[in-house]
Amino acid sequence: MILKESSFSTFLYFISHFTIKKTLSTSHKSPTPLKVSSLVTQSCFLIPILLSSILHAFSFWGIRGLRMIMWTILLVLAILHRASSHGIQPLSRIAIHKATLALDNLAYVKASPTVLGLNGQNTEWVTVEYSSPNPSMDDWIGVFSPANFSASTCPAENPRVYPPLLCSAPIKFQYANYTSPDYKVNGKGSLKLQLINQRSDFSFALFSNGFLNPKLVAVSNTVSFANPNAPVYPCLAQGKQWDEMTVTWTSGYGIDEAEPFVQWGPKGGHQQHSPAVTLTFDRSSVCGAPARTIGWRDPGFIHTSFLKELWLNRVYTYKLGHRLFNSTYVWSQEYQFRASPFPGQNSLQRVVIFGDMGKDEADGSNEYNNFQRGSLNATKQLIKDLKNIDIVFRIGDICYANGYISQWDQFTAQIEPIASAVPYMLASGNHERDWPGTGSFYENNDSGGECGVLAETMFFVPAENRAKYWYSTDYGMFRFCIADSEHDWREGTEQYKFIEHCLASVDRQKQPWLVFLAHRVLGYSSDLSYAVEGSFGEPMAKENLQKLWQKYKVDIAIYGHAHNYERTCPIYENQCTDNEKRYYKGTLKGTIHVVAGGAGASLSPFTTLKTKWSLFRDYDYGFIKLTAFDHSNLLFEYKKSSDGKVYDSFRISRDYRDILACTVDSCPLTTLAS
């Protein structure tokens, strides 16, 4: 029997397309973070199909067919590897709803010190000592907050969640033998764990029988901060006017207990008070499990104060304050920031941009599949170079809480040294927003039921409506147009009209550097998951948006989502408009697209296919820095998180007339009559 070439192609397409769809529907594009168990199930399901495919390929097409089917299998395995490398939210490994009591009088857990933050600290290390008469390798320590974590019922949200003994996930966990290699032998161990002030007390529990059917063996004494309600973790953001800065923080004080405000003023000068608005949300505000069930934790109160009529480039100091109704005051430590330059100001301006950093634990807890191991390195590099950074853009997949609300506090604590000193601007990603039936463009479960509520409430952005997370912001010679890739951006939509208005309304004589930001790759990417789809970016995106980028002469478009680094040539309609790679002089003629999604989350592989437009790829952790020296000169740098050194760069040098110059599809059509 002889089959035609087209039949063979169709056969290969079926095998690869079936596998890719089955895998990617639970990893890159989609939905729920892929669980190891589902990977194993899928792999086992595919094995007989692949073996059968090999036999059929050999019998129908001989050696050539066998080679091609083996290539397809390698591609499939690479995709499976990518899906598994992205891991899952570590806390979701623990089936806390299946926990049972197995308290043992001979077992114990002790934590010290019992009171933290006596000198105003919001981060402290705790020593946890424990012992079990029946130790095993899968024993683990869970950190719970509030300290009393038992409950008789838990609201059911879907068939996988049912009333358990325990309905609160730990805020972090670690194996009992992590730093005690002899634990299995003598049943004794200890851990040093880092705690942050999270508006409640803490307890530590020893569990046996692993994560899937845990048994509670012993519970520690209670540990708490001296003032668990204290104002903590300020985050700056640009306001809706260039001379306005917003400060957002959390506390345990509601408006019926205290009046929140910021005391601020020029460094060494007169200090004034600005009141703060207060927001919060409850379990009914979020959209599904685990955010509404085992991942729920009271978020406290989120306060935002608006500091207005700032003098450009002046250094200001500020303190977070709460005036209690007994006329006493609670204060944070003192912070400082430099006011933003006015739109068009000709001065040195330095911008850091990255996506998908997530959060990590300094004590090594909550690690799984190196899920976010690069996060701390990126944070440390930014803190180290903070004096040379003016503003930060974090373009989506912010902390990968995925419905475990306690992780947002830990994230804000991690970035506090940065976000309290320079504006920290966000874009929305799939792990913040996406949830079925809630209006997200992608109908998947990536947010773990958060459906945007956490990001929209805990961080200020100068959007007209924070439920629609798109906005523009000016910083000196830069105009940034930040899209929300999780809402429809296609031509004719509300967001498309916003994008065009943002790009069209900038005065390029005053603000020559026009930058487009989004989480998903709405432009170009060689990430394997995009390559196997054949789109090399989000499907439909380039077709809908590239005419806007070209018409309004966007210089650089930067994305996250793909966990790697890549830079293209200046490009329009899949064609490089300039063959230069390092130094662009005069009219750019196209937009340079950059993927900067390797700031912390586990890395994504590239396709082995070579494209003419891809100039530089790096399978490593890093971030982007833009430096505008003046209206004519811009430096782009890609730095690795491991050492902060520059591994890729280019310069743009041009005059205003070069921006005005017409290129393909960038000027109105003319006729002989005109």
> By three-state DSSP, how is residue 319 classified?
strand
pLDDT at 165: 54
pLDDT at 128 over 80: yes
Percentage of the chain with pLDDT > 70?
83
Please choose, from the candidates 362, 386, 388, the residue with its C-alpha nearest in 3D space to the C-alpha of residue 375. 362
pTM: 0.88
Backbone φ and ψ of 382, nearest 5°: -70, -40
Residues forming beta bridges with residue 616, ordered by sequence position: 567
Place of tokens 């105003």: 120
For the chain, what are the domain ranges? 100-225, 342-660
Each residue's pLDDT tens digit, 310-341: 999 899 999 999 999 999 999 999 999 999 99
* Fold match between domain 100-225 and domain 342-660: no
- CATH T-level fold of 342-660: Purple Acid Phosphatase; chain A, domain 2 (3.60.21)
pLDDT at 597 over 60: yes
pLDDT at 13: 42
Read off the amino acid at residue 349. Q
| DSSP annotation of 279 | E
| DSSP annotation of 90 | G
pLDDT at 350: 98
- pLDDT (mean) for 461-472: 95
Check: CB of residue 90 under 8 Å from CB of residue 371: yes
Residues forming beta bridges with residue 430, ordered by sequence position: none
pLDDT at 87: 53
pLDDT at 74: 46
pLDDT at 55 over 60: no
CATH 2.40.50.140 fits 100-225, yes or no: no
Long-range contacts made by residues 50-55, C-beta under 8 angstroms, separation at least 24?
50/15, 50/76, 53/11, 53/15
pLDDT at 76: 53
Backbone φ and ψ of 339, nearest 5°: -65, 150
Model confidence at 88, in pLDDT bands (50, 70, 90)?
Answer: confident
Considering only 3-7, 368-372, 420-424, which range has the smallest mean pLDDT?
3-7
C-alpha dist (Å) from residue 394 to 121, 167, 416, 424: 26, 32, 14, 7
Q: Which residues contact 169 (CB under 8 A, 6 or more apart)?
A: 91, 94, 96, 290, 294, 295, 404, 406
pLDDT at 280: 97
Q: Are strands 565-572 and 591-596 parallel, antiparallel or unpaired?
A: antiparallel
- pLDDT (mean) for 163-186: 87
pLDDT at 366: 84
Q: Which two tokens stand for residue 463?
A: 């959007």
Angle (CA) 593-473-475 rounded to 5° is: 85
How many CB atoms within 10 Å of residue 55?
11
Check: CB of residue 605 under 8 Å from CB of residue 82: yes
Residues forming beta bridges with residue 427, ordered by sequence position: 395
pLDDT at 624: 98
Place of tokens 């207990």: 257
- pLDDT (mean) for 470-499: 98
In terms of pLDDT, which residue wins out, 670 or 650?
A: 650
Check: CB of residue 403 under 8 Å from CB of residue 448: yes
CA–CA separation, 409 vs 273, rounded Å? 26
* Per-residue exposure over 578-610, b if at least 16 CB sit within 10 Å of its own CB, e if not: beeeeebeebbbbbbbbbbbbbbbbbbbbbeee
pLDDT at 84: 43
Model confidence at 40, in pLDDT bands (50, 70, 90)?
Answer: very low
DSSP 298-318: ---EEEEEEE-SPPTT-EEEE
Instruction: State the average pLDDT for the chain.
Output: 88
pLDDT at 30 over 50: no
Long-range contacts made by residues 445-448, C-beta under 8 angstroms, separation at least 24?
445/30, 445/31, 445/32, 445/288, 446/30, 446/31, 446/32, 446/33, 446/402, 447/287, 447/291, 447/402, 447/403, 448/89, 448/92, 448/288, 448/289, 448/290, 448/291, 448/295, 448/401, 448/402, 448/403, 448/404
Check: CB of residue 603 under 8 Å from CB of residue 621: yes
| DSSP annotation of 86 | T
- pLDDT (mean) for 371-399: 93
pLDDT at 668: 79
Considering only 262-266, 511-515, 670-674, which range has the smallest mean pLDDT?
670-674
Model confidence at 35, in pLDDT bands (50, 70, 90)?
Answer: very low
